[in-house]
Amino acid sequence: MSQRRLVRVLGGSGVAALAFLVAGGGAQAVPPGPPPFQPAPGEACTPSPAWVSVGATERWLTSAPGSCIRQAPNGGWGEVSAGGSGPVSPATPRLVLRVGQTVTFHFTAAPQSVVVLRTLASPRATTGRAYRLSPTNPTWRVRRGSGVLDIQTTQISAVPDGYPFPPRVAVVSFSAVYRAVGGARAAHEEE
């Protein structure tokens, strides 16, 4: 995807995201196609898109519902609930991973805190094994298991041009479904 297309896809937060990527804060490539949720023209939405890379495979992560800020016809500003899908939806990537393989998480808006990865046994699980990942190099070495990868961090919220208030720090959450296999059973990277 070209840098110009990335800015168009990411809407109001695109310029900051592009600066983050060019500065080396993320991968040089993004997944094919648009992210699972795109803001409407004139909106700025949080969370900004994120994706996972495993080897040469890049997939968009799904996010929990966030919020979008847009200007009303009367000139005022409003915040509305944004897309997002909860922990698992049809758009959530399904990954088949090899035990010992390295998974890298990429964020179009720089994380403002440590990245927490939880491996949950199912979408309904409320607890799981937690890993603290560096916000500058969020990687995870795959261990045996299967379930949901729940990735949480904080981002500076996106705001549209002309918005009269400063951005705030927001907690954001992303998801992928995974199955870890060992040896020859993992001949492919994704289903």
Q: Say what the pTM is.
A: 0.77
Average pLDDT of 53-73?
89
Average pLDDT of 67-75?
88
Q: Between 73 and 20, where is the model more confident?
A: 73
User: What integer pLDDT is reported at residue 7 of this predicted model?
Assistant: 34
User: What integer pLDDT is reported at residue 103 of this predicted model?
Assistant: 95
User: What integer pLDDT is reported at residue 31 of this predicted model?
Assistant: 92
- Antiparallel, parallel or unpaired: β 169-181 and 94-98: parallel
User: What integer pLDDT is reported at residue 135 of this predicted model?
Assistant: 93
Amino acid at 166: P
As a whole-number percent, the residues of the chain with pLDDT over 70 amount to 78
* pLDDT, tens digit, 9 for 90 and up, residues 26-35: 445 889 998 8
**Would you give the distance in Å from CA 73 to the centre of its chain?**
31
Would the pLDDT of 58 be above 90?
A: yes
User: What integer pLDDT is reported at residue 61 of this predicted model?
Assistant: 93
Best CA proximity match to 162, nearest among 90, 79, 103, 77: 77
Average pLDDT of 53-72?
89
* pLDDT, tens digit, 9 for 90 and up, residues 129-185: 999 999 999 999 999 989 999 999 999 998 988 899 999 999 999 999 999 998 545
* pLDDT, tens digit, 9 for 90 and up, residues 108-118: 999 999 999 99
Best CA proximity match to 75, nearest among 157, 159, 12, 162: 162
Best CA proximity match to 91, nearest among 175, 157, 26, 160: 175
Query: Burial letters for 61-98: b for 16+ Cβ neighbours within 10 Å, e otherwise?
Result: bbbbebbbbbeeeeeeeeeeebbbbebbeeebbebbbb
Q: Between 96 and 15, where is the model more confident?
A: 96
Domain boundaries, the chain: 3-185
